[in-house]
Amino acid sequence: MNERLKEALRRKIERHNKFIRLFAVWSGFLIAGMWAGIYFFSRWAILFGRTIAQGTEAEMPKPLGWGFLLFVGIWLAAGWVERKAEPGYLRSNDRSLIEVLLEIALFPPRATFAAFRHLHQRVALAESELEWAATLLNHVGRAGKLPVEAVSDLFPLESDAQRLTETLKTLDLVYIRRVKDEEFLVVADPERLAVFLERGNRFVG
């Protein structure tokens, strides 16, 4: 067991989680500000339209708050459906005008879901799992690349292999490379990890 690698991985996780917390706070402010801006713009647009139609005595409709919440709910539902469908125009540079307009129209719900999805990237490992994760990283680093199918041979349960592989991918320490018809687990920065494995004195995440 490479204890230095284990401790370095622990520090990497701590830095990663600290970034996730800071990002959550910052994105929370931005998302809240975005929806507040949409609400106040909606109020202004409705009042402006009623003023044109009714004159200076126009008033805001009383159920505006509930109507806005209903509209936001429908908007978020549309964004959720789009997110599950994974439309091709989100990955394509060749977009029609309708696709561009749809992407703009669904930007607020997509931004909201993206902020919540980022929170799920927080990493939490028990002490035993941390040791297994360091062992896996050590194996991949020394082998250069490790077949994905072989990862499960290192762990008692296949679910452990999948969880720890996803953890190292979330930390940007490894990634999947496809060679012909086979997938391999590869270290993201082999030179920096190689220095650590050889000297045992540093690991920069």
Q: For the segment 144-201, what is each residue's pLDDT rounded down to a tens digit?
A: 788 888 888 877 777 788 888 888 888 888 888 888 888 888 888 766 665 556 544 4
Q: For residues 107 and 150, state if they share a domain.
A: no
Full residue range of the structural domain in which residue 175 is found: 125-199
Pick the last residue of a domain from 119, 137, 152: 119
Q: For residues 144 and 90, state if they share a domain.
A: no
Q: Give the pLDDT confidence of 71-102 residue by residue, as tens digits.
A: 899 999 988 888 777 665 555 667 778 877 88
Residue whose structure tokens are 């409705």:
46
Domain-embedded: residue 204: no
Q: For residues 166 and 79, state if they share a domain.
A: no
Q: For residues 91 and 135, state if they share a domain.
A: no
Closest CA to 73 of 61, 85, 84, 65: 65
Domain-embedded: residue 4: no
Model confidence at 36, in pLDDT bands (50, 70, 90)?
very high
> CA 178, CA 170: separation in Å to the nearest integer?
18
pLDDT at residue 1 is higher than 90: no
Amino acid (one-letter) located at 144:
G
